[in-house]
Amino acid sequence: MGKNAQLIVDGLDCFAENFEKIILNGETIKNAEFEECVFVSCDFSDTFFRSCRFIDCRFENCNLSVMKLIDTKLSGCEFISCKMIGIDWTVCDWASLLSGEPMKFTQSILNDSNFFGLSLDKIEIKECSAKELDFRSGSFKGANFRSSDFHGSLFGDTHLEYANFSDANNVNIDLKTNYLKGAIFNRYEALYLLENMGIVLVE
Domain boundary among 68, 101, 134: 101
Residue 3 has pLDDT above 60, yes or no: no
Question: Do 85 and 112 fall into the same domain?
Answer: no
Question: Do 109 and 125 fall into the same domain?
Answer: yes
- Residues 125, 148 contacting (CB under 8 angstroms): yes
The total number of structural domains that make up the chain: 2
C-alpha to C-alpha distances, 126 to 86, 91, 117, 169, 179, nearest whole angstrom? 18, 23, 21, 12, 21
33-92: pLDDT as tens digits: 999 999 999 999 999 999 999 999 999 999 999 999 999 999 999 999 999 999 999 999
Instruction: Identify the pLDDT of residue 134.
Output: 98
In this prediction the pTM is 0.90
How far is 112 from 159, CA to CA, in rounded Å? 20
Residues in contact with 14: Cβ distance below 8 Å, sequence separation at least 6, in sequence order: 32, 33, 34, 35, 37
Percent of the chain, pLDDT > 70?
Answer: 89
160-177: pLDDT as tens digits: 999 999 999 999 898 889
Question: Do 81 and 140 fall into the same domain?
Answer: no
* Residue 35, in any domain of the structure: yes
- List, as one string, the DSSP characters of 108-128: -B--S-B-TT-B-TT-EEES-
Q: Domain containing 68: what range?
A: 11-101
SS3 82: coil
Residue of 189 and 144 predicted with greater confidence: 144
Question: Do 114 and 89 fall into the same domain?
Answer: no
Question: Do 96 and 107 fall into the same domain?
Answer: no
- As a whole number of angstroms, the longest Cα–Cα distance in the chain is 65
* Residue 172, in any domain of the structure: yes
